[in-house]
Amino acid sequence: MSKIEPTSTRFVIEPLSQFDLSTHSRTTTVRSIAITSLSNPTILYVGTNSGTLFSLSADTNDSNTSQNGTVPSDSASFLHKLSFIRSVSVSDSPVDAVLVLADLGKVLLLSDGSLFLVDSELSNRAFRLGFSKGVAVVTRRKMRNNESEGLGFDMNNQNHRFLQKLGGLIVKDGETQSGACVLALAIGRKLVIVELVLGSGKSGKSDKDFNNGSLVVLKEIQCVDGVVSTMVWIDDSIFVGTVNGYSLISCVSGQSSVIFSLPDVSRPPRLKLLHREWRVLLLVDNVGVIVDVQGQPVGGSLVFRHGLQSVGELSFYVVVVSDGKIELYNKKNGVCAQVLPFGGEGIGPCVVASEEDKSGKIVAVATATKVVCYQKLPSVEQIKDLLRKKNYKGAICLVEELESEGEMSKDLLSFIHAQVGFLLLFDLHFEEAVDHFLLSDTMQPSEIFPFIMRDPNRWSLLVPRNRYWGLHPPPAPLEDVVDDGLMTIQRASFLRKAGVETIVDNDLFLNPPNRADLLESAIKNISRYLEASREKKLTQSVSEGVDTLLMYLYRALNRTEDMERLASSTNCCVVEELEHMLEESGHLRTLAFLYASKGMSSKAVSIWRILARNYSSSLWKDPALDNIIQDSGENLISGKAIAAEASKILEESSDQDLILQHLGWIADISQVLAVEVLTSDKREIQLSPDEVVTSIDPQKVEILQRYLQWLIEHQDCFDTQLHTLYALSLAKSAIEAFEFENISENLASGNTERKNLATLRNSIFQTPVRERLQIFLQSSDLYDPEEVLDLIEGSELWLEKAILYRRLGQETLVLQILALKLEDSEAAEQYCAEIGRADAYMQLLEMYLDPQDGKDPMFTAAVRLLHNHGESLDPLQVLEKLSPDMPLQLASETLLRMFRARVHHHRQGQIVHSLSRAVDIDARLSRLDERSRHVQINDESLCDSCNARLGTKLFAMYPDDTVVCYKCYRRQGESVSVSGRNFKEDILIKPGWLVSR
């Protein structure tokens, strides 16, 4: 930690102005110094060894020279002079300490163990405050608002009052507010807490002009540890240092606790309040320990490399002076950020003073005869300086520190990231450059455009003329950036050989990269930036630029996959900018995707068609024997993929001509895709079925069938012509399939069987055509059955014929086909049941018994029929129909079955009859039960309807147990009771009446 790390060397401060005491007085030397910025301009108070105090003005108004970004120089020779304002004599002894009471307009001085008060203009004589004698240290209480109360651990009332009275200088949000001036004085082993009360002047004059005042003792605290030689008081904690060590004394309880003791032989203790963090720095040797208000250590120790004579604070640094050098150490990580000499070594004791303020900007150091003022460079200047030295890491480090301290606005942070990015870009560190670009919220993607496309172009006017801090050259195409960068490295290497130091990246210098690699890295990373930019909200024209140029970059690296992904996703590419380029470079797929995504369907599909043609021709051209199978497989897949892309476009298109124009080649590659194109429900305007039907290749029957099926089943098409067409087409296919099957069956050879299987597999339908035909013929009634019949008349499609005849009501023909041709007696019986007349069964029986055409009678079927439906057949008629040649055994069985069926039928009827009777008897019984119920009537009984006393009168009771007099009964009738219940409509059933059998 003891060496300056290159990334941490900064220019935090620069010399501002100086003052040479020897020009004013030959005899005296500087003893103490204080600085205040509450007044404007900033004023320095310098106490001398000869007992005087003088003030200097650090007027910064005319010292703006270094604000303009010139590198601060280490020499102080051109510095402005601090202007001397006034001096006042204090005592004969050295002025040991100067305390500026800015809120009171006073300065408190410690000299010769006594306290003196002087007005801040030094216009009056210093006033010696009575009482004090032997004071070694004086410190003022500082409080951070609202924080003192919570700390009073076991405060009794008295203490609380004391604490309230105590008050102090309240520091709130970095601003000092006026409060009571409470001081702690160290007198030997004793701490005396006093309040400074200013005396009032004579009438008419303000306090300011008089330096009188008095000290009121509030409390005395005995300090056991030793003689106090340094002290800091924040909130309720008084930190004191003695030769033995550091202690913390609570001003509330007076209790003291050791923070740590000092090694036996060591430098005198020294304390420094760190306003910014509200912590205290405790020094031991050249080590600084930072503790919080409770005395607990926070963070690691600071190690001051060269020891120290005096310590101050500026922003996040501790400022130490020693040996004619001023050094800044980062409070957080202990890193030494800057070293500035201000006088040669051996210059003697020096002191440093810093503003007692969180946002101090000035520190002053004094040697015996010289005072030098330093001002903090604005953060921006510090960063610029680091960037100029190409210390990007250091700059970012500082930026991050500033950000974590809340001292950097988001916009500035973004600005700096962009600036660093551009610098890195020109230094050929493309990856890091883009990393920084991506961290910038304010950078416009269009700022990158000139690096990709030469000006002027479509987007030239969009590019903001943001030159940042002007630290990098104006944008140029990446090739130029790379060439220039390489040239710079080359030149630097010459210079280096000649012994001239240059600030060129060592890494690049040692391993000069090759141009191609650099260019590739540049393009890759800029693509990454554009990719990320796509996620942002951009104006239309910028989005167009981003996407178009991204395509350019992808193409430059031939990243086909990315190109196609970009082209096929939603994008803002400008087609005219890319069309030509993509065609030239043969990225036809990308172009097709692009056309499609831009809604230029016809162009897109045309390209797909060309691609498909190319694929298929390459298939023919390349008959390399070994690869042929593999190749053809691949090409086939590719061809399908191409057709799929085209069909995807066509599925959404409503342009009928376009669709029908391309249907052919797509169908050649894949019938399924062609069908998908035709049956898509994604298009807005449906195709005209007639035109589609006529334009489908007559060879591709399945496409037609699929299309018609879709129209009929999914689009609820009621066009009888189309229904008929569908039926005819199916029938034709069915006949063909039937014949084909027959042939292959006849041949019964393995070869044809395989072929048969193959044709079956090639079909785009899953169910065989006959099944489809039968289902359709049965389900639709919009086709013309006769036309279909005409077609299949001569064929073997008997079931289909049966369906059609049934449609035409030709019962006999239907039965004939079912019963005799197909011998499907079940279907035949079913059909009879459909017809629903007994004579149908009879007709069927007749057919079974006399099939004609020389066929043998189908006795089994006949017997079955009689068994199932014998009861509906007239036995006489049956007997008549029985053929004389029927074998007796069969005939008897037939008749027996018929009779048995009839007897069975009869018996069944009897059983049902008896069961009904039983129920009837049960019901009667219940009725009787109900009627024979006894009802008890007494004198009190009333009619439920007219409330008349029943007495001995005739009365009636309803099933719901209501009782009425006879008169009312006549009026109401039997079926409606008093409650209004109508027993005819709303039947009442009592549990006992239920037939339980």
Partner 1 sequence: MATIGHNNLNAKLVLLGDMGAGKSSLVLRFVKGQFLEFQESTIGAAFFSQTLAVNDATVKFEIWDTAGQERYHSLAPMYYRGAAAAIIVYDITSTDSFSRAKKWVQELQKQGNPNMVMAFAGNKCDLEDKRKVTAEDLSTGKMIGNAKESRGLYYLDNGLDFKDQQKTYSGATISNENHSDQILDLNNNEGPPEMPQHNDSYKETQSGFTTIDPT
Contact residues for partner 1 (CB under 8 A)?
Answer: 1-2, 245, 258-263, 284-285, 287-289, 291, 295-303
Q: Give the amino acid at 496.
A: R
As a whole number of angstroms, the distance between CA 184 and CA 171 comes to: 18
Question: Shortest approach of partner 1 to residue 300 CB, angstroms?
Answer: 4
Q: Give the amino acid at 665.
A: W
Cite the DSSP H helix spans in 836-957: 838-849, 859-869, 875-881, 888-931
Q: What is the DSSP secondary structure assignment for residue 820, as one 8-state letter?
A: I
Question: Shortest approach of partner 1 to residue 274 CB, angstroms?
Answer: 16
Question: Shortest approach of partner 1 to residue 78 CB, angstroms?
Answer: 39
- In sequence order, which residues have a C-beta less than 8 Å from that of residue 706 and are 6 or more positions away? 671, 675, 678, 679, 764, 765
Which residue lies nearer to partner 1 by CB, 151 or 575? 151
Specify the residue for token string 């203009």: 121
Question: Shortest approach of partner 1 to residue 305 CB, angstroms?
Answer: 11
Specify the residue for token string 């990308």: 590
Question: Shortest approach of partner 1 to residue 3 CB, angstroms?
Answer: 10
Which residue lies nearer to partner 1 by CB, 306 or 390? 306
Among 366, 470, 385, 324, smallest CA distance to 13 is for 385
Which residue lies nearer to partner 1 by CB, 3 or 621? 3
Q: Are 810 and 818 in contact (CB under 8 A)?
A: no
Which residue lies nearer to partner 1 by CB, 333 or 457? 333
As a whole number of angstroms, the distance between CA 259 and CA 238 comes to: 12
As a whole number of angstroms, the distance between CA 32 and CA 47 comes to: 5
Q: Which two tokens stand for residue 360?
A: 């101090």
3-state class percentages of the chain: helix first, strand second, coil last, to nearest 5: 45, 20, 35
Which residue lies nearer to partner 1 by CB, 269 or 639? 269
Cite the DSSP H helix spans in 653-719: 656-669, 671-678, 689-695, 701-713
Specify the residue for token string 């003052």: 19
- In sequence order, which residues have a C-beta less than 8 Å from that of residue 131 and are 6 or more positions away? 194, 214, 215, 217
**SS3 at position 105:** coil
Which residue lies nearer to partner 1 by CB, 263 or 473? 263
Question: Shortest approach of partner 1 to residue 538 CB, angstroms?
Answer: 40
Question: Shortest approach of partner 1 to residue 228 CB, angstroms?
Answer: 18
Q: Which two tokens stand for residue 710?
A: 């879709």
Look at the chain and count its residues.
997
Q: Which two tokens stand for residue 580?
A: 């030509």
Which residue lies nearer to partner 1 by CB, 305 or 683? 305
Which residue lies nearer to partner 1 by CB, 266 or 749? 266
Which residue lies nearer to partner 1 by CB, 297 or 477? 297
Question: Shortest approach of partner 1 to residue 287 CB, angstroms?
Answer: 4
Helix-then-strand count for the chain, H and E: 31, 34
Which residue lies nearer to partner 1 by CB, 156 or 266? 266
Respond yes or no on whether the N-terminal peptide bond of residue 41 is cis (omega within 30° of 0): yes
Which residue lies nearer to partner 1 by CB, 12 or 335? 335
Question: Shortest approach of partner 1 to residue 262 CB, angstroms?
Answer: 7
As a whole number of angstroms, the distance between CA 715 and CA 688 comes to: 13
Which residue lies nearer to partner 1 by CB, 297 or 851? 297
Q: How many CA atoms lie within 13 A of 482 on its CB side?
A: 18
Question: Shortest approach of partner 1 to residue 229 CB, angstroms?
Answer: 18
Question: Shortest approach of partner 1 to residue 362 CB, angstroms?
Answer: 29
The per-residue b/e assignment along 750-782, b for 16 or more CB within 10 angstroms, e otherwise, is: eeeeeebeeeeeeeeeeeebbebbbebbeebee
Q: Which two tokens stand for residue 63?
A: 């010292």
- Measured N-to-C along each axis, helices 785-792 and 720-747 cross at an angle, to the nearest 10 degrees, of 20
Question: Shortest approach of partner 1 to residue 245 CB, angstroms?
Answer: 7
Which residue lies nearer to partner 1 by CB, 240 or 950? 240
Question: Shortest approach of partner 1 to residue 487 CB, angstroms?
Answer: 40
Instruction: State the DSSP string of 193-213.
Output: EEEEEEPP-STTS-GGG---E
**SS3 at position 139:** strand
Strands 169-172 and 142-144: parallel
Among 170, 172, 169, 171, smallest CA distance to 182 is for 169
Which residue lies nearer to partner 1 by CB, 138 or 291? 291
737 φ, ψ (degrees, to nearest 5): -60, -40
Which residue lies nearer to partner 1 by CB, 246 or 665? 246
Question: Shortest approach of partner 1 to residue 303 CB, angstroms?
Answer: 5
**Cα dihedral value 556, 562, 564, 569, nearest 10:** -130
684 φ, ψ (degrees, to nearest 5): -80, -45
Question: Shortest approach of partner 1 to residue 260 CB, angstroms?
Answer: 5
Question: Shortest approach of partner 1 to residue 175 CB, angstroms?
Answer: 31
Which residue lies nearer to partner 1 by CB, 291 or 835? 291
Instruction: Name beta bridge partners: 118.
Output: 107
Which residue lies nearer to partner 1 by CB, 41 or 295? 295
Q: How many CA atoms lie within 13 A of 491 on its CB side?
A: 9
Question: Shortest approach of partner 1 to residue 264 CB, angstroms?
Answer: 9
964 φ, ψ (degrees, to nearest 5): -130, 160
Question: Shortest approach of partner 1 to residue 1 CB, angstroms?
Answer: 7
As a whole number of angstroms, the distance between CA 314 and CA 285 comes to: 22
As a whole number of angstroms, the distance between CA 535 and CA 532 comes to: 6
Which residue lies nearer to partner 1 by CB, 296 or 618? 296
